[in-house]
Amino acid sequence: MSASGPGKTPQHIAIIMDGNGRWAKARGLPRLEGHRRGVETVRTVVDSARQLGVRYLTLYAFSAENWKRPAEEVSGLMGLLDFFLKRELDNLIKQQVRLHTIGRTDQLPANVQRELARVKEATRHFTQWNLVLALNYGAQTEAADAARAYAEAVQAGRENPAEASWERFRRYFYTAELPEPDLLIRTSGELRLSNFLMLQLAYAELVFTPTLWPDFGHADLVAAVEDYARRERRYGATTEQIKAGAR
């Protein structure tokens, strides 16, 4: 766990980007127009997070449950993802941002998988700044995939169940290489996790904002980070212990 406390910048921010549909509906526009505007917000927020010194930014872009949406919306979202990856590659390289993905990306359309592989490969040598896209991601699916991989490791004699711990088990999660989020932001006023990073968020600070994702900007990210900086993260200890440790 990172040692963030009052006044510290979160090392890792995770965002549930929500409210594109309602943004469009309020303007009498098709839902896809909301998603288009949402993509513009992604660029702004990637740049802002970097400016603020946030090393890891994880964005929930498509959940394992989002396949339930009308086929037209799903294909529109996949098209936008392809467009985003093509358009942002140069920007990511210029800003030295490495792209990662979490989720069952092998079930995404082949063209999207190709773009993802291309952008990941072109940015894999960057270490300071990291953009993580959660695509076809579900925390429960992740737990099932991790359990399968762990069980295989037990069968192969590489893991001993008697020594099971979160620290060992987390190595089988999609997020094995990533630190756990310090701050979770959800836009659009919904107060739920929607199957996002359930275990990794165990000690994250939560910020919910009524702002719809297409309207979210630099100032909103700054406000969330300031809110975070005012909080005391105790991890089960007492305020007195935290203060003594900080001295």
Shortest CB 146 distance to Mg ion, Å: 26
The DSSP-derived string for 90-102 is HHHHHHTEEEEEE
Select the residue interacting with Mg ion from 12, 14, 15, 18 (CB under 5 A): 18
* Token representation of residue 93: 């390289």
Q: What are phi and psi of 21, to 5 degrees?
A: -65, -45
Nearest to 231 by CA among 9, 54, 1: 9
CB of 105 to ligand IPE, least distance (A): 14
Question: Choosing among ligand IPE, Mg ion, none, which partner's interface includes residue 209 (Cβ < 5 to 8 Å by kind)?
Answer: none
Contact range with Mg ion by CB under 5 A, out of 16-24, 83-91, 94-102, 173-181: 16-24
Report the run of H or E that residue 189 belongs to, with start and end.
none
Place of tokens 């802002």: 48
| Residue 65, number of CB atoms within 10 A of its CB | 14
| Inter-residue contact 126 to 98 (CB < 8 Å) | yes
Catalytic residue numbers read 18, 66
What is the binding site for ligand IPE (CB under 6 A)?
A: 16-22, 60-63, 66, 77, 188, 190, 192, 194
Name the closest residue to Mg ion (Cβ).
18
20 touches which of ligand IPE, Mg ion, none (CB within 5 to 8 A by kind)? ligand IPE
From the CB of 164, what's the least distance to ligand IPE, in Å?
A: 30
Cβ closest to ligand IPE, residue 10 vs residue 21: 21
Nearer residue to Mg ion within complex by CB, 27 or 148: 27
Q: Is 142 in the site for Mg ion (CB under 5 A)?
A: no
CB of 74 to ligand IPE, least distance (A): 9
Q: For residues 43 and 36, what is the distance between their CA atoms, to the nearest angstrom?
A: 12
- Residue spans of beta strands (DSSP E) within 19-128: 56-63, 97-102
Q: Measured from the CB atom, is 23 or 172 closer to ligand IPE?
A: 23
Closest C-alpha among 48, 92, 24, 81 to residue 15: 48
Q: Which residues bind Mg ion (CB under 5 A)?
A: 18
